Structure 1
Amino acid sequence: MSNNSRGLQANVLGTFDTVVMAVAGSAPAYSIAATTAVLAGAVGPAGPAALLYCAIPMLGIALAFSYLSRIDVNAGASYSWVGRTLHPFLGFVSGWALVMSATIFMVAGSLPAGSMTLALFDEGLADDTALSTLVGAGWFLMMLSVVLGGARLTVRAQLVLSGVELVILALFAVLAFLHTDNARVFDWSWLGFSQFDGVSGFAAGALVAAFYYWGWDVTSNLSEETRNSRRTTGLAGLIGVGVVFLLFEVFTIAVNVILSARRIEENGANVLAVLGEEVWPGWGGKLLVVAVLLSTVATLETTLIQVTRSLFAMGRDRTMPAALGRVHRRWNTPWVAITVVGAVALGMFVASNALGSVGEILSDAISAIGLQIAVYYGLAGLAVVVAYRKKLLKSPTDFLFGGLWPLCGALFMFWVFVESLGELSSAAVAIGLGGLGVGLVPMLWYWRKGSDYYRPARLDASRTVAVDYVPVSAASSRSAAHEGLPTDF
């Protein structure tokens, strides 16, 4: 099968590459820096418990992605899987939830990148939202260019960015463990339920924890560009969740031990730099700022991949403008989708200046993204049960890993979604639900226009799906027969 018939460039990424992408997608240093204060505000010192109890259902969702990727290789991932198992409308909602969460993250991720870059030179400049936005937009455009250059260039950049980040984090994990000055004693209650403010308090913490883990599923969006992708993408996602869980737990516990609740609250998105300064005065804070900056830039790259590959799949299926399904002749990347996302994100950068400080924007954006993550992860967890329904009782392994665990993960995500609505700010709820609601317009429009996506062949684990995807050409007419749908063996 030639690259031209596939659209995207096939067999570019190997197993190690996809594991790196999975870890980078969850952005360990960025997630710890940007979200620790938000998590502490939600659950106090029980942050390690929230991360632990959210990791268990998150592994169930990772298993769902792994099992579904075995039978349907599609750049749209949950958009395709949910649409072909539960209902096309739910599939579109799943894909749109990813698109919206990733687009919101363009601002939530780029603003800290700008402020941290400025902090390396002058601490006073870091609080200047306008200047942070300008510098962050510069980083965003740089990553946009890398993603446009193709999967091979993307993974090379990722190896450098994430490699340095993980070395710095590993060093500071050891330093934090050895640090004893003014440190509190580790308390096992930090891993228990007793610290949560009831069920709703736990739900609020779990929603924030979902944001921590989000991003490992970029491997599924890269499946059409990965070697042996039916096995590789799911395995890489599972390894990615395991690696970032360990990093999140180590640093969240270290923050509890070394920093007081007041210092966490006062420093907001700068918590990791303050931790670094405590364990290594002079150099520690600067090095961890570098790690967070690299992590932020790296996850901007993986998020761009997720949103542009999802839009590419939607354009190919004609559930969004068909132009989004076009690929660049030289780089084999969805250049129209990349250009559109870049333009929308830059517009959001300008609008974000009217919303308040970097910290205020981050808090609401993280909660809004958490709601959208819960939707598309939960739907994927249900989809795998339906796709494997004929096989679940034939094997204990399939029953546990392809059925029960993903189902529990899905129910957990939906429960967190419902419970959190009453706890979040009106701005966070408006951004989260409003973003999902906007998707009804293109969904109904292209459904009425007769997209074949809304008349799908059912996804069944007893059959795999061919990957003979045909790119949308510029000459395609609205009335042309849809050539991009997968066919069953």
Structure 2
Amino acid sequence: MDQGTTPPAPDPAPYRGPGAGSRLTRRKPVERLITESGKGEGGALRRSLGVWQLTSISIGATLGTGIFVVLGEAVPEAGPAVIAAFVVAGFTALFSALSYAELAGTIPVAGSSYSYTYATMGELTAWVIGWCLILEYGVSVAAVAVGWGQYLNELLDGTIGVTLPDALSAPPGDGGVVNLPALVVVLLAMVLLLGGARESATANAVMVVVKISALLMFCAVAVTGVRAGNYAPFMPLGVAGVNVAAATLFFSYIGFDAASTAGEEARNPRRDLPRAIILSLVIVTVLYCLVAAVAVGAMPWQDFTGSEAALAGIMEEVTGHAVWSVLLALGAVVAIASVVLAVLYGQTRILFSMARDGLIPAVFSRVHQRTGVPRANTLIVSAFCGLLAALIPLGRLADATSIGTLFAFALVNVSVVILRRTHPRATRGFRVPLSPLLPALGFAFCVWTMTGLDAVTWTVFGLWLVGGLVIYFTYGIHHSRLGRPHEEAR
């Protein structure tokens, strides 16, 4: 076997199997997770991705709507202290990123935190995490696609003087009938994914270069309009405002874990997955803080209210020429399309793992022999996300995504500590320093950030969890492969 697929060394007291406890707490042995890596119904995923492609997947899934669109929603909540809010959200993500890096290097499979919790906390917890990941990935694809439509209108207006009517560019509730551009970008991403993991990763890498260049261009141009007075008072809405803004901006960091969903398509996952996760988060955090600092310095924070394409507006105001805002809008269109592509990829791979375990229908784990892609999975997920993007407003989608992600991240930090105890001698490509202190801080930051979300978001999250539990107890628990005697012997 290659370095990426070598099972962990057996421990002195290995896990005795799901029969040792209730069905709800049965755990999937780490060795079995590794053994099943890459295998699906009728075919197998292909190991074709290197460290830079994996890093691009995480950057592609992260860097986009958060800075291009959600910034306009967060600045009115914190004022110039939105810079501090980005730092707080970044620290929340950092501690969890370290835990993800260790787990991805220890259990390099496609299921991300779903698989990690299956090995450490049991099936019910794994299902809840998988259900939260559907919220994180599936719903965020829709939220990001909505932002793409907003910048597409900016681009069309600046180039040919035409904008799509609200009826075709906004969902019901935002003055429209259907958000057609949001649906289109999801379908375009679907076409790229159907071509194969390596092909779609290459396309994503090109788009990542374009969007980083666009943000650096914004900073270079907009810095000429920075006024010191725009930073005072720095924290007009107090610490509470920073907390609320950090909860909103955490949406901007969702996606750094996307590389972990490529664990079964990475050439050397134990080495490359931890590097990709940490490197992508560092690059994204630096860019976010830089762009936020320039943006609030170039435009009074009160003027951000209702500005969904804030960066493009700043460019035009600072320079007095529409050409710069058009160039930024072009970069944003490419940037946000990259997020849709990378996040949609992650969602399909998580569902692939859940289906392989029997918790959802087997169609999601069926791999096309020629392309090595879970084709039916990709088609179904794209249709679902496309409909959400076309019919649901952005703000509610972003908040719902954040709470699901924070919940999953909190339990990933717990999983690191548990796996250290149950598999102390497992091969690890990376180890979280100062464990269990840093994982504990990661857990605490996630919980604290969740308190900044409003009651409506918590209600939606609660209803989502209830719906997920209904599906698990009516389908998943009865079809779980871990619960079948002949599967236990494998």
Q: TM-score range by the shorter chain?
A: 0.7 to 0.9
Q: Do structure 1's residue 184 and structure 2's residue 228 form an aligned pair?
A: yes
* Counterpart-to-counterpart distance in 2, 1:130 and 1:432: 29
Which residue matches 2:23? none
Question: 3-state SS of the aligned residue for 1:10?
Answer: coil
- Go from structure 1 to structure 2 and tell me whether the alpha carbon gap of 1:415 and 1:221 turns closer, same or farther (over 3 Å shift): same
Which residue matches 1:141? 187
Q: Do structure 1's residue 366 and structure 2's residue 412 form an aligned pair?
A: no
- Which deviations, in whole Å up to 9, do the C-alpha atoms of 1:209-268 show, x marking residues without a partner? 21111101110001100011012112111011100101110111111101112321142x
Q: Map 1:165-314 to 2 at 5 A.
A: 165-177=211-223, 179-180=224-225, 183-185=227-229, 187=231, 190=234, 197-198=238-239, 200-267=240-307, 269-280=308-319, 281-314=321-354
* Counterpart-to-counterpart distance in 2, 1:160 and 1:402: 37
Indicate conservation of the 8 Å contact 2:55/2:277, yes or no. yes
Q: Map 1:31-42 to 2 at 5 A.
A: 31-42=66-77
* Counterpart-to-counterpart distance in 1, 2:84 and 2:208: 26
- Unmatched runs of 5 consecutive residues or more in structure 1: 353-360, 456-478
Over the aligned positions, Cα root-mean-square deviation in angstroms equals: 2.8
Q: Do structure 1's residue 20 and structure 2's residue 52 form an aligned pair?
A: no
Q: For 1:408, give the aligned amino acid.
A: L
- Which deviations, in whole Å up to 9, do the C-alpha atoms of 1:401-451 show, x marking residues without a partner? 54321221112112322x235xx262x344333333321122222454151
Q: Do structure 1's residue 403 and structure 2's residue 436 form an aligned pair?
A: yes
* Counterpart-to-counterpart distance in 1, 2:194 and 2:69: 27
Indicate conservation of the 8 Å contact 1:57/1:405, yes or no. no
- Which deviations, in whole Å up to 9, do the C-alpha atoms of 1:103-130 show, x marking residues without a partner? 2223212222223223322366356152
Q: For 1:383, give the aligned amino acid.
A: S
Q: Map 1:316-331 to 2 at 5 A.
A: 316-331=356-371
* Counterpart-to-counterpart distance in 2, 1:282 and 1:119: 10
Q: For 2:472, give the aligned amino acid.
A: M
Q: Do structure 1's residue 60 and structure 2's residue 60 form an aligned pair?
A: no
| TM-score normalised by the chain length of structure 1 | 0.83
Q: Do structure 1's residue 115 and structure 2's residue 150 form an aligned pair?
A: yes
Which residue matches 1:435? 464
Q: Do structure 1's residue 451 and structure 2's residue 490 form an aligned pair?
A: no
Identity, % of aligned positions:
23
Give the C-alpha shift of residue 288 in structure 1: 1.0
Which residue matches 2:20? none
Indicate conservation of the 8 Å contact 1:148/1:331, yes or no. yes
- Go from structure 1 to structure 2 and tell me whether the alpha carbon gap of 1:262 and 1:81 turns closer, same or farther (over 3 Å shift): same
- Unmatched runs of 5 consecutive residues or more in structure 2: 2-35, 171-178
* Counterpart-to-counterpart distance in 1, 2:146 and 2:431: 43
Q: For 1:184, give the aligned amino acid.
A: A
Q: Do structure 1's residue 104 and structure 2's residue 145 form an aligned pair?
A: no
Report the count of equivalent residues.
439
Question: 3-state SS of the aligned residue for 1:420?
Answer: coil
- Go from structure 1 to structure 2 and tell me whether the alpha carbon gap of 1:294 and 1:195 turns closer, same or farther (over 3 Å shift): same
Which residue matches 2:163? 125
* Counterpart-to-counterpart distance in 2, 1:154 and 1:203: 37
* Counterpart-to-counterpart distance in 2, 1:91 and 1:434: 18
* Counterpart-to-counterpart distance in 2, 1:369 and 1:403: 27
Q: For 2:227, give the aligned amino acid.
A: A
Indicate conservation of the 8 Å contact 1:60/1:401, yes or no. no
